[in-house]
Homo-oligomer: A and B are copies of this chain.
Amino acid sequence: MRCAYLGPEGTFSEEAMRLFAPDGEPVPCVDVPSALDMVRMGEVDHAVVPIENSVEGGVNATLDTLAHGSPLMIVGEVVVPITFALVARPGTRIEDVRTVGTHPHAWAQCRRWMHDNLPDAVHVPSPSTATGPVALASGEATYDAGLCSKISAERYDVEILAEDIADNWNAVTRFVVVSTPKRLPPPTGADKTTLMVHLAHNEAGGLLAMLEQFAVRGVNLSRIESRPIGDALGRYGFSIDAEGHIAEERMQEVVMGLHRACPLVRFMGSYPTADGRRARLDPGTSDADFIAARTWVRSLLQS
């Protein structure tokens, strides 16, 4: 199984890809559209791409590339905690580190740790967190140490001076596993459905009406993000993760309601949640409740 990810090697994307497919063949790509296009072209079986970060928010390139072009389907998700390792050439002492090479985002997420532990260290920007260990191991680095992922730290001939570094211990990035729309994963009871929905009109009432399609069937949302439709200011689509699987009755009624009421609904997939937490079912929202209600209404029609 070939599996595209956002390269280069040693990034958190590779870590996510390996968590999903430990034995898969990794195919690093230069950006998210390239990874998703490889799926569309049939050049890989899956792509693993970031969709949201708990600090930075939604990944627009992923949301927008999934929302346009030939259909793709999300078949799984992986959540990766974002903590860093400080690595250096073997023999380096932490108190000797004066310069640190890493991607600016990584530096931003560790600024307070640096201030507390290496107040005099200076940042040397590099194009990826994975660049540091490579350059340090090969001797080409222009800095004393690097801040990188654990996976990357362990792969090269560098020494880990500190690990589990993060200013915000809850920082995670969520990745989705994308394939062509071949086969829907079966429901597990702990599933998520991803949708893109445009509103019929852009007033407060339009968003309210859309949310009521979910609320009235007892379906909860775990993510909602606005994206511009692109034709004018103030015109939005919403990228949504809802708790439940399209094979479940309540989700089907929601999706049918959206289909009737909204100018565009794009189904992006139903797949098991990374944390295995089962959706809470309000009274009257199980499949059995829907089936009982339908049976009753049919009996009325036959009278």
Residues of A within 8 A of B (CB): 52-58, 60, 73, 79, 168, 170, 172, 174, 181-184, 200, 202-205, 207-209, 211-217, 219-228, 230-236, 246-247, 252-253, 255-257, 259-261, 267, 283-285, 289-290, 292-294, 296-297, 300-301, 303
Nearest to A168 among chain B residues (CB) is: B230
Q: Which of A79, A227, A232, A261 has the most CB of B within 10 A?
A: A261
Contact B212 A212 (CB under 8 A): yes
How many copies of this chain does one complex carry? 4
Contact A224 B236 (CB under 8 A): yes
Contact A303 B183 (CB under 8 A): yes
- Minimum CB–CB distance from A175 to chain B (whole Å) comes to 12
Contact A170 B208 (CB under 8 A): no
Contact A228 B290 (CB under 8 A): no
Q: Which of A73, A216, A217, A257 has the most CB of B within 10 A?
A: A216
Contact B219 A223 (CB under 8 A): no
- Minimum CB–CB distance from A79 to chain B (whole Å) comes to 7
Nearest to A213 among chain B residues (CB) is: B216
Contact A184 B297 (CB under 8 A): no
- Minimum CB–CB distance from A119 to chain B (whole Å) comes to 21
Contact B303 A73 (CB under 8 A): yes
Q: Which of A203, A204, A228 has the most CB of B within 10 A?
A: A204
On chain B, the residues within 8 Å of A53 by CB distance are: 228
Contact B79 A233 (CB under 8 A): yes
Docked Cα-Cα span, A296 to B255, in Å, equals 10
Docked Cα-Cα span, A216 to B209, in Å, equals 7
- Minimum CB–CB distance from A40 to chain B (whole Å) comes to 15
Give which listed residue, B204, B213, B225, B235, contacts A211 with CB less than 8 A: B204
Contact B255 A52 (CB under 8 A): no
Contact A222 B205 (CB under 8 A): no
Contact B226 A215 (CB under 8 A): no
Nearest to A284 among chain B residues (CB) is: B260
- Minimum CB–CB distance from A75 to chain B (whole Å) comes to 11
Contact A231 B303 (CB under 8 A): no
Contact A184 B301 (CB under 8 A): yes
On chain B, the residues within 8 Å of A216 by CB distance are: 209, 212-213, 216, 257
- Minimum CB–CB distance from A181 to chain B (whole Å) comes to 5
Contact A301 B211 (CB under 8 A): no
Contact B231 A168 (CB under 8 A): yes
Give which listed residue, B204, B253, B256, contacts A220 with CB less than 8 A: B204
Closest 3 CB pairs of A and B: A260-B284, A256-B293, A259-B293
Contact B182 A233 (CB under 8 A): no
Contact B224 A267 (CB under 8 A): no
On chain B, the residues within 8 Å of A256 by CB distance are: 290, 293-294, 296-297
Contact B181 A303 (CB under 8 A): yes
Q: Which of A205, A284, A301 has the most CB of B within 10 A?
A: A284
